Amino acid sequence: MAACGGDPHGSTVRSARVEGDALRLDLDLHFSDTLLQALDHGIPLQLEVQLAGAVANVQYIDLRYRPLSRQYELSLPGETGARVFGSRARLLAALDRIVLPMTPAAAAGAVRVQLRSSALPAPLRLPALVEREWQLATPARPWGR
Amino acid sequence: MRGRLLRWLPMVAVLALLVAALWIAADAESAESRLGAAYGWLFGVCAAAVLVLVVAIARELWRLWRERAEARPGARLNARLAALFGLIALPPTLLVAGFALRFLDAGVDSWFRVDLEAAHEAARALGEQVLVGEQRQALARVEALARAIADDADADVQAQFDRLLEADSALAVHLASYDGNGGVEALAYSTTAITLPGAPDEALRLQIAESGGVAQSLTMTGQLVVRAFATATDRLGRRHLLQWIQPLPAELAPQLAELERSSIDYAQLRFQRGALKTTFALILGLVTLLALLATLLAALAATRRLTRPIARLAEATAAIGEGRFGTRIEVQSRDELGALTAAFNRMSRDLSELDAREQASRAETEQARAHLAAVLSRLSAGVVSVDGERVTMANAAAAQLLDCALDALIEQPLAAASAASPVAAQVMATIRERGQDARGEWREELALPGDPPRALLLRAVRLGGDGARQVVIIDDMSVIAQAQREAAWSEVARRLAHEIKNPLTPIQLAAERMRHRFQGKLDPGDTQVLERATQTIVAQVEALKGLVNAFGDYARPVRIELRPLAFAALVGEVLDLYESSGQCRIERDLAAALPPVRGDRERLRQLLINLLTNAVEAGGHGVAVEVKLVAGEGGVELGVRDHGPGLPAEFDGRWFEPYMSTKPKGGGLGLAMVQKIAEEHGGRIRAGNAEGGGARFVLWLPSAGAAA
């Protein structure tokens, strides 16, 4: 279900447009409590951005919590170093609008974002396969210039 | 091909399950996700492998049930052993699995002891304080730099950066100044371990603007660094966003990095506590399932392999029970079962040899029995074997002598055999009476009334010690007497031929010489007397010669050649001969499709001529002779009736002996020859007066099949 049409929590790609060599995405991602707790317990979450078009492309967004500094890190493709946030809310707010590099930039295509369950620690992969709390996926959203 | 695939598929499934379980177990232990993408496939493979094993076991159980329902040898033992092995394997497997699950649960829980958790938290808090201290220090340094830039008369940010690095050559830092648009306007660094990160985003700028300065730690190129921001307004009124990045001190960096890593690991483990238990339980379940299914499958295969030789032994034993001796089983092992199989093969071979010997012995016995039966069947004497009160054996001659059917004697109690005929009753009574009284051998003569009366001679020999079994030989004394008379006549004929025939020729020659000597020398009256006398001598000598020759023919042993022949055709030929001679008028009635008889053509021709001659001589020249040929019991029957005076009242069997004749002429050898030839062919001749006058002779000859 998640792989085809989206997660039960209603995550969506609100808009997607290409500006120059970048794809600007307005996201509305709903993380379940389980996912947020996992993040707070140091479980790295990896979002997979699937770009379908003339050239298929997959990019990854990493979210991580540093318990020592009590900071959250966001690693985006094309950026050197991670962005650092003092709170989870700021981290999630930063995910509302992201810019992804596109080389070469396609005139049209579709994009969807989903949690990459296979990147979770081994013990969590089985629940991630079957439990809805571990599912986060948006429907495919077409983009254009 | 399909069978091989079915045989290997369960093994592949076992291997797949084993590999999958080990794979999952290894992956669960590691922090890195090496098999993440394959997890779904892995569980799919596990499910398919379990399904294959279950199907293989179900197939084996179905086969076992079917074999048991069909009562195949070894099926019950196979089922019992499989159930036994299953029962033996199940409890320890479940016990180990249960204990392992319990230890797993306790083991995972032990990772999160309260004191351990408190220590982790204390260490983390300590590290956090150190890090915060470093952040504060960095923030203080960047704020000091901001103040220096604000006080700089030249408002030269780059110069301030350079002076700072020159003033403290030991300082490892990466400095950057961003303008209002995020563009880098000044850059300086004393370490190459840190690269310039991206410009602060709007959110961070806002945060810096709100608080005046921000310090944070982050991981750059794998190392923990401290980053601090401050804003500075130079004398020209320009605002600069200053970024200070410095690595942690060398004596703290490894410990803090390790502390952060362990804090993350511990936090992750604490979060995954339930999932870890579930995963380990799943792996344990997979392994337990694998062990159970594989054990069950192996038990079924092993019991089948174990009971196969036993089943083969049972099948072979059943085959031997059905009389198929010599059944062999291939010896496939060197264990006790192999030794048992080899012993069975030896036993089967011995039985086969014994059976062959027994069959050969039986065949010899049968052959001897058949030979004895053939001999007995050709004996003219009757032979009856009696065991106690039962007739066990009798030959055809016995049945003939007792005037009954053979079946009425063989395997019949004496009482039943007695009822077969009056003669049989008399004979059986004698056997019973003498059998009870006598010791050893006995003999008894029985006079049987009838026409003609007969006399039977019974001679018995006892077999065995109890005297219950005896063999009785029955002879017809009348036949013996007749045979003795025939032998005597043959002797007479031989002597006649020898003693009389020799002088006849000199007598004849002497008479002819005498006639020739005195012919013409005597007076006519004497000459006539001499002529008549010599003619009489010569004629009588010729007659004597004929008589002697006839006796010679009667006495001469004849070699006859018996072969199947159509008796009706032979009778027809002889009748044609008589008709054409005009001696008599033949009234013939010859049945068609008669069985052939086995006889010598010339001897039978002579028999027919003798019979017809006898009829013609009895009736006179030109009278009618009735000839009728019909099928008789077991042969053919020829009736010849003349119209003569008929047989005298005293006519009996002796009239078939030589020199017995009712006719004034003839030597009395015609009917004797008829009887002799009939007996040579196994036939018989009887005579009687016909209704309406005349005599009727009936000849019976056995058919070729009956004679054989």
**Alpha-carbon distance B546 to B550, whole Å?**
6
Q: Do the Cβ atoms of A126 and B203 come within 8 Å? A: no
| Nearest Cα residue in chain A from B259 | A68
Q: Do the Cβ atoms of A69 and B267 come within 8 Å? A: no
pLDDT at B50 over 50: yes
Query: Of B571, B554, B574, B549, which is closest to residue B679 (Cα–Cα)?
Result: B554
Segment B415-472, tens digit of pLDDT:
899 998 888 998 999 888 887 765 678 888 888 877 667 788 898 888 766 667 888 9
- A74, amino acid identity: L
pLDDT at B75 over 80: yes
What confidence category does residue A33 fall into, taking pLDDT thresholds of 50, 70 and 90? Answer: very high
Q: Which residues of B touch A125 (CB under 8 A)?
A: 33, 36, 39
Lowest mean pLDDT: which of A82-86, B31-35, B564-568? B31-35
Return the structure tokens found at B351: 């039985």
Q: What is the pLDDT of residue B665?
A: 59
A97 interface with B at CB cutoff 8 Å: no
Segment B652-677, tens digit of pLDDT:
666 776 766 666 555 577 888 888 88
Instruction: Compute the average pLDDT of residues B344-355.
Output: 90
**Alpha-carbon distance B81 to B300, whole Å?**
8
What confidence category does residue B7 fall into, taking pLDDT thresholds of 50, 70 and 90? Answer: low
**Alpha-carbon distance B13 to B31, whole Å?**
28
Segment B578-597, tens digit of pLDDT:
888 888 888 999 988 888 99
Q: Do the Cβ atoms of A41 and B28 come within 8 Å? A: no
Q: Do the Cβ atoms of A125 and B30 come within 8 Å? A: no
CB-nearest partner of A82 from B195, B219, B259: B219
DSSP B275-308: HHHHHHHHHHHHHHHHHHHHHHHHHHHHHHHHHH
B67 interface with A at CB cutoff 8 Å: no
CB-nearest partner of B33 from A73, A86, A120: A120
Lowest mean pLDDT: which of A27-36, B104-113, B203-212, B347-356? B104-113
Q: Do the Cβ atoms of B264 and A38 come within 8 Å? A: no
Q: Which residues of A touch B131 (CB under 8 A)?
A: 68-69
| Nearest Cα residue in chain B from A98 | B201
pLDDT at B631 over 80: yes
Return the structure tokens found at B497: 């031929």
Q: Do the Cβ atoms of B270 and A41 come within 8 Å? A: yes
Domain boundaries B129-266, CATH class: alpha beta
CB B511 within 8 A of CB B537: yes
- B467, amino acid identity: G
CB-nearest partner of A41 from B219, B260, B267: B267
pLDDT at A1 over 50: no
Segment B694-707, tens digit of pLDDT:
889 999 999 887 64
Q: Do the Cβ atoms of A43 and B271 come within 8 Å? A: yes
What confidence category does residue B19 fall into, taking pLDDT thresholds of 50, 70 and 90? Answer: confident
Chain B: closest CA distance from residue A65 (Å): 8
Cα–Cα distance list, B664 to B74, B616, B660 (Å) = 97, 14, 11
Q: Using N-to-C axis directions, what is the helix angle for B39-69 and B75-110, rounded to 10°?
A: 150
Other CB atoms within a 10 A radius of the CB of residue B124 amount to 20
Return the structure tokens found at B425: 């009753």
**Alpha-carbon distance A107 to B477, whole Å?**
140
Who has greater pLDDT, A52 or A136?
Answer: A136
Instruction: Compute the average pLDDT of residues B334-350.
Output: 88
Q: Do the Cβ atoms of A93 and B259 come within 8 Å? A: no
What confidence category does residue A62 fall into, taking pLDDT thresholds of 50, 70 and 90? Answer: very high
Q: Do the Cβ atoms of B275 and A124 come within 8 Å? A: yes
Cα–Cα distance list, B477 to B312, B459, B473, B482 (Å) = 68, 12, 12, 8
Return the structure tokens found at A139: 């429907």
A33 interface with B at CB cutoff 8 Å: no
A37 interface with B at CB cutoff 8 Å: yes
Mean pLDDT of chain B: 83
Q: Do the Cβ atoms of A81 and B198 come within 8 Å? A: yes
CB A15 within 8 A of CB A145: no
Helices and strands of chain B, counted as H and E runs = 19, 18
Segment B102-139, tens digit of pLDDT:
888 888 787 777 787 888 888 888 888 998 999 999 99
Q: Are strands B624-632 and B585-590 parallel, antiparallel or unpaired?
A: parallel
pLDDT at A66 over 50: yes
A117 interface with B at CB cutoff 8 Å: yes
Name the 3-class secondary structure at B231.
Answer: strand
pLDDT at A4 over 50: no
Return the structure tokens found at A85: 């946030």
Instruction: Compute the average pLDDT of residues B496-516.
Output: 82
Chain B: closest CA distance from residue A97 (Å): 12
Q: What is the pLDDT of residue B333?
A: 80
B676 interface with A at CB cutoff 8 Å: no
Other CB atoms within a 10 A radius of the CB of residue A86 amount to 15
CB B385 within 8 A of CB B393: yes
A120 interface with B at CB cutoff 8 Å: yes
Query: What b/e sequence results for A33-60 when a residue is b if at least 16 CB atoms lie within 10 Å of its CB, and e otherwise?
Result: ebbeebbebbbbbbbbbbbebeeebebe
* Domain at B379-473, CATH from 3.20.20.70, 3.30.450.20, 1.20.120.450, 3.40.50.620: 3.30.450.20
Is the fold of B129-266 the same as that of B379-473? yes
Q: What is the pLDDT of residue A105?
A: 61
Q: Which of A48, A69, A72 to mutate to test the interface with B (most CBs of B within 10 A)?
A: A69
Burial class (CB in 10 A: 0-12, 13-18, 19+), B241: buried
Q: Which of B202, B258, B264 to mutate to test the interface with A (most CBs of A within 10 A)?
A: B264
Location of structure tokens 């059917």: B405
pLDDT at B708 over 50: no
Q: Do the Cβ atoms of A71 and B30 come within 8 Å? A: no
B108 interface with A at CB cutoff 8 Å: no
pTM score, whole prediction: 0.50
Spatial strand order in the sheet of B382-387: B412-413, B390-394, B382-387, B469-476, B454-463, B442-448
Q: Do the Cβ atoms of A117 and B127 come within 8 Å? A: no
pLDDT at B143 over 80: yes
Q: Which residues of B touch A38 (CB under 8 A)?
A: 271
Q: Which residues pair with A13 in a beta bridge?
A: A27
Chain A: closest CA distance from residue B120 (Å): 11
Other CB atoms within a 10 A radius of the CB of residue B343 amount to 10
Q: What is the pLDDT of residue B660?
A: 65
| Nearest Cα residue in chain A from B269 | A41
Count residue pairs from A and B with Cβ separation < 8 A: 118
A63 interface with B at CB cutoff 8 Å: no
Q: Do the Cβ atoms of B263 and A42 come within 8 Å? A: yes
**Alpha-carbon distance B700 to B568, whole Å?**
13
Q: Which residues of A touch B197 (CB under 8 A)?
A: 80-81
Burial class (CB in 10 A: 0-12, 13-18, 19+), B58: exposed
Model ipTM value: 0.81
Chain B: closest CA distance from residue A145 (Å): 25
A90 interface with B at CB cutoff 8 Å: yes
Query: Of B651, B665, B667, which is closest to residue B555 (Cα–Cα)?
Result: B667
Query: Of B217, B235, B219, which is closest to residue B227 (Cα–Cα)?
Result: B217
What confidence category does residue B29 fall into, taking pLDDT thresholds of 50, 70 and 90? Answer: low
Nearby residues of B482 by Cβ (< 8 Å), 6 or more positions away: B653, B657
Domain ranges for chain B, please list them. 2-110+272-315, 129-266, 379-473, 500-555, 563-707
Q: Which residues pair with A49 in a beta bridge?
A: A59, A113
Q: Do the Cβ atoms of A129 and B40 come within 8 Å? A: yes
Domain covering B563-707, topology: Heat Shock Protein 90 (3.30.565)
Segment A93-123, tens digit of pLDDT:
999 999 988 866 666 788 999 999 888 887 7
| Nearest Cα residue in chain B from A93 | B203
Q: Do the Cβ atoms of A68 and B218 come within 8 Å? A: no
Q: Which residues of B touch A86 (CB under 8 A)?
A: 207, 216
A67 interface with B at CB cutoff 8 Å: yes
Q: Do the Cβ atoms of A38 and B227 come within 8 Å? A: no
